[in-house]
């Protein structure tokens, strides 16, 4: 079996890459370890940057996002109960949408299949061979059959725990954080028209949503937190305490139908290419969720990659592919800084040295006060949150 671009992983990165390639007449095959129902249900991020929305719209996969996604013009920053509105629309002229990652995945799977795309679910024993040669291959098992897929290029879009990254020699740069997020989904109406990011003496909390009847909330907890210690009443009580505001905020509660603990880390693998293997999305980097950037960054990578592959397919030129690591990493590090900065500014850090901890708390508070009182600082937050602009639109020919 042969294709132009073999893609490992049917997350947002792999699926969108396959779609963007097909719009340019480039053939691809997507190999996914899980079944379709699993990837369409997996609960992940939920915020789309301005440029992500435009890209999905311009490439014909934004209709349901526009119909069902929740538009937001800003966020609230809460500082021990004191509320500050960051007005993205006014500060940047741009905005965001809340639309679950699994909904983006559903839309992309539906479109790939409608277009006759080759997406294979439940592939096992996926292995890469000779990625630095001119004839890279992937071996895998599908429907009980051993298969080999030859390709001109392989895109490793298999997420943080995938196999692709280990075939790209280089450096892992990472920062671990001494806390995790306990996340819940609940059948409850959102209690605020905007997302609330709250810094509180007990730790960080985030109030988000998925629809007019479903809220998504997060609490900063210890890295080794046991979910059994968090019955629903304790979660609601702690959320109410940390999210309390001077604006009459009242948290609506409801039945919790999903509960999980996510560790936090920043991670970047450099470079993002070895020979004919190119990494994109979580396979190459992850950010803590405080800036809502994971899915957007994965999408930004494949936007660059699909242009570079389009150039190669049309002319044989590899300038774009040769520049892929450098082009993609420029945005990766901007977003890595922003996510680290938001995380550092809003969480409670319990250091080992009490004097240094108190010092760090004062500096953190000063940073937050500056951010909510200076238009320049607020604009910095806003332009990063809505997403730094791309150099060109999708159609650049």
Q: Given the rule CB under 6 A, which residues bind ligand PHB? A: 45-47, 195, 206, 208, 216, 289-290, 292
Sign for the CA dihedral angle at 345, 280, 160, 63 comes to: positive
Q: Which residue in 269, 285, 289, 307 is the catalytic one?
A: 289
Q: Map residue 273 onto helix, strand or coil.
A: strand
What is the C-alpha end-to-end distance of the chain, expressed in Å? 31
Q: Which of 197, 207, 288, 324 is catalytic?
A: 197
CA 378/CA 370 separation, integer angstroms: 8
Q: Which residue is nearest to ligand PHB (CB)?
A: 208
**Which does residue 386 touch among ligand APR, ligand PHB, none (CB within 5 to 8 A, set by kind)?**
none
Q: Footprint of ligand APR on residues 117-156 (CB under 6 A)?
A: 123, 126
* Residue 39 interacts with, from ligand PHB, ligand APR, none (CB under 5-8 Å by kind): ligand APR
131 binds, among ligand PHB, ligand APR, none (CB under 5 to 8 A by kind): none
Smallest separation, CB 293 to ligand APR (Å): 8
Q: Cβ distance 90 to 382 under 8 Å?
A: no
CB-nearer residue toward ligand PHB: 136 or 288: 288
Among 6, 18, 32, 79, binds ligand APR (CB under 6 A): 32
Burial environment of residue 116 by CB neighbours within 10 A (0 to 12, 13 to 18, 19 or more): exposed
Rounded to whole angstroms, the Cα distance separating 169 from 179 reads 30
289 is catalytic: yes
Tell me whether strands 70-72 and 96-98 are parallel, antiparallel or unpaired. antiparallel
Q: How far is the CB of 88 from ligand APR (least distance, A)?
A: 20
Decide whether 214 or 372 has the Cβ nearer to ligand PHB: 214
| Residue 219 sits in the site that holds ligand APR (CB under 6 A) | no
Annotation marks residue 76 as catalytic:
no
Q: What does residue 378 show for φ and ψ, rounded to 5 degrees? A: -65, -35
Q: Which of 19, 50, 97, 293 is catalytic?
A: 293
Q: Which two tokens stand for residue 66?
A: 């526009």
| Out of 216, 282, 288, 335, the residue judged to bind ligand APR by CB under 6 A | 282
**Burial, 222: exposed, middle or buried (Cβ in 10 Å; 0-12, 13-18, 19+)?**
middle
Among 123, 116, 138, CA closest to 39: 123
Which residues contribute to the site for ligand APR (CB under 6 A)? 8-14, 31-34, 39, 44-45, 101, 123, 126, 157-159, 162-163, 281-282, 294-295, 298
Residues with a catalytic annotation lie at: 72, 197, 289, 293, 385
């Amino acid at each position: 079996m042969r294709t132009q671009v073999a893609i490992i992983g049917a997350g947002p990165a792999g699926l969108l890459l396959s779609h963007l390639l097909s719009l340019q007449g480039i053939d691809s095959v997507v190999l996914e370890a899980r079944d379709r129902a699993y990837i369409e249900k997996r609960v992940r991020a939920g915020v789309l940057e301005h440029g992500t929305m435009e890209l999905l719209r311009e490439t014909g996969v934004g209709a349901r996002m526009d119909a069902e996604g929740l538009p937001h013009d800003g966020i609230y920053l809460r500082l021990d109960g004191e509320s500050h509105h960051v007005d993205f629309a006014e500060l940047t002229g741009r905005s965001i949408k809340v639309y679950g990652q699994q909904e983006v995945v559903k839309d992309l799977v539906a479109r790939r299949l409608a277009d006759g795309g080759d997406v294979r679910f439940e592939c096992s024993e996926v292995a890469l061979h000779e990625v630095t040669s001119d004839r890279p291959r992937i071996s895998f098992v599908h429907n009980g059959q051993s298969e080999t897929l030859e390709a001109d290029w392989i895109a490793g879009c298999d997420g943080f725990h995938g196999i692709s990254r280990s075939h790209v020699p280089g450096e892992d740069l990472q920062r671990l954080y001494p806390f995790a997020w306990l996340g819940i989904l609940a059948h409850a109406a959102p209690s605020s028209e905007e997302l609330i990011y709250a810094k509180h003496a007990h730790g960080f909390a985030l109030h988000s949503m998925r629809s007019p009847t479903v809220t998504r909330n997060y609490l900063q907890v210890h890295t080794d937190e046991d979910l059994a210690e968090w019955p629903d009443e304790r979660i609601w009580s702690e959320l109410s305490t940390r999210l309390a505001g001077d604006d009459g905020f009242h948290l609506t509660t409801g039945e919790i139908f999903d509960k999980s603990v996510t560790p936090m880390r920043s991670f970047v693998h450099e470079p993002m290419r070895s020979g004919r293997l190119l990494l994109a999305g979580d396979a190459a980097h992850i950010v803590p969720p405080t800036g809502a950037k994971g899915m957007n960054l994965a999408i930004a990578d494949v936007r660059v990659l699909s242009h570079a592959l389009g150039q190669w397919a049309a002319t044989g030129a590899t300038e774009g592919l040769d520049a892929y690591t450098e082009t993609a990493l420029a945005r990766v590090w901007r977003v890595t800084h922003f996510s680290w900065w938001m995380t550092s500014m809003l969480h409670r850090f319990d250091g080992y040295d009490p004097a240094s901890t108190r010092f760090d708390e004062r500096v953190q508070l000063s940073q937050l006060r500056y951010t909510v009182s200076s238009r320049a600082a607020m604009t910095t937050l806003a332009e990063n949150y809505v997403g730094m602009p791309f150099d060109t639109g999708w159609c650049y020919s």
